[in-house]
Chain A
Amino acid sequence: MLINALSSPWPWYVAGPLIGLMVPLLLLLGNRHFGISSSLRHICAACLPAKIPFFSYNWKKESWNLFFAGGILLGGGIASFLLTDPHPVMIHPQLAAELRGYGVTDHHALLPVQLFNWPALLTIRGFILMVVGGFLVGFGTRYAGGCTSGHSIMGLSNLQWPSLVATCSFMAGGFIMANLILPSILHL
């Protein structure tokens, strides 16, 4: 019964407040500010600082962030291997119809496996989606000084208006990409 409830997708009104509680949890555990994209900067500082001023700092003082990121990786594993949802992902019929037009019909996983797989990396479509997309995520979040967690959740919770500017820009970028540009990428 409980396992069933935990295995099916959690509704937004359960997941949202739980995500919001990460803010006070980290603050009370050690005065840490919720934000994940900074871990990417610490990884650069740890692995390839190359005398670049932006990466010349003592990343070890920020290692909590790397442990947090490592935990997310583990948590993702626990969720998908121990609390596996046996059902395919529910998707909006309009989205399903659009994806069918691109030849994407397999919706059994959280990501469309026909778009995100190793051989697809060698196609233009897959390369743009995974490599260029990932690059934009890393470049953009650091340029903006945070991501959905650091700006949209932590920043907004602390009433920082620059975080509101950043959040609106995230959404604007996503709307433009998903509606105006992505369709032509998916047609490739």
Chain B
Amino acid sequence: MVLLMNTDFEVESLNTPVKQEPGWYQLKYLVAGVFFGLILVKSQVVSWYRIQEMFRLQSFHMYGVIGSAVMTGMISIFLIKKLKIRTIHGEPVTFTVKYFNKGQVIGGLLFGSGWAMTGACPGPLFAQTGAGFTVTIVTLFSAIAGTWVYGVMRERLPH
């Protein structure tokens, strides 16, 4: 069986050697996550209603959030590249080039449907659960199951 080429560019250690950071360094990411979760809940990005309004063109809120987030991210990456800014540990910042495959369309359509049903993409799934909607643990487990089934079926799916 011919193994598929890489279609998931989010697991860096598969593509490039990743340096081992001391364990307590992970706390940086925990704190960053706390801020992100806080923003997601307070801006109602985790709200099922805001997602329904987005897909029904009834509110500008989500378009404003995503649009301004992309603008901010774009300017930041431009500056990091232009000024060759390094990490706080002095390492160079690197970027991943993504290649097209059919999964971005088929998987994208499937994810979009799931997003409209649950009102949550993966970040908000964690945030909703933390916000005390205990039943979203089921949705989260189901998403993990979905990822697992994709891993099983991957070689047989069009990419």
Contacts and interface: CB of A to CB of B under 8 A. Distances in A.
Q: Do A and B come from one complex?
A: yes
Contacts of B123: 36, 72, 147-149
Interface string B119-130: 111110111111
Nearest to A149: B123
B58 A68 contact: no
Given A131-B138, A134-B125, A152-B66, A112 B48 contact: yes
Contact of A19 (B30, B69, B103, B143): B69
Contacts of B63: 12
Listed residue (A22, A138, A150) with the most chain B CB atoms within 10 angstroms of its CB: A138
Residues of A contacting B: mostly? helix
A172 B109 contact: yes
B9 A73 contact: no
A187 interface: no
B26 A77 contact: no
A89 B115 CA distance: 19
Contacts of B66: 16, 148, 152-153
Given A52-B152, A129-B118, A173 B27 contact: no
- Report which residue of A118, A161, A171 has the largest number of chain B beta carbons within 10 angstroms of its beta carbon: A171
A1 interface: no
Interface residues of B, number: 130
Contact of B73 (A29, A76, A153, A177): A153
Contacts of A130: 118, 135-136, 138-139, 142
A55 B136 CA distance: 24
Interface string B11-24: 11110001011000
A132 B139 CA distance: 8
Contact of A71 (B33, B56, B64): B33
In the complex, the 5 A-B pairs of residues with the closest C-beta atoms, listed nearest first:
A71-B33, A173-B112, A75-B37, A169-B108, A20-B72
Interface of A: 6, 9-44, 48, 52-55, 57-58, 61-65, 67-81, 83, 89, 91-92, 94-95, 107, 109-112, 115-118, 120-121, 128-163, 165-179, 181-182, 185
Interface of B: 3, 7-14, 18, 20-21, 25-49, 51-56, 58-74, 76-77, 79-80, 85, 87-89, 91-101, 103-123, 125-136, 138-152, 154-155, 157
Given A67-B33, A173-B116, A174-B55, 19 more contacts: A12-B60, A12-B65, A16-B68, A20-B72, A24-B79, A74-B37, A75-B40, A95-B52, A95-B56, A116-B136, A130-B118, A134-B141, A134-B145, A139-B149, A140-B113, A142-B107, A147-B111, A149-B123, A174-B113
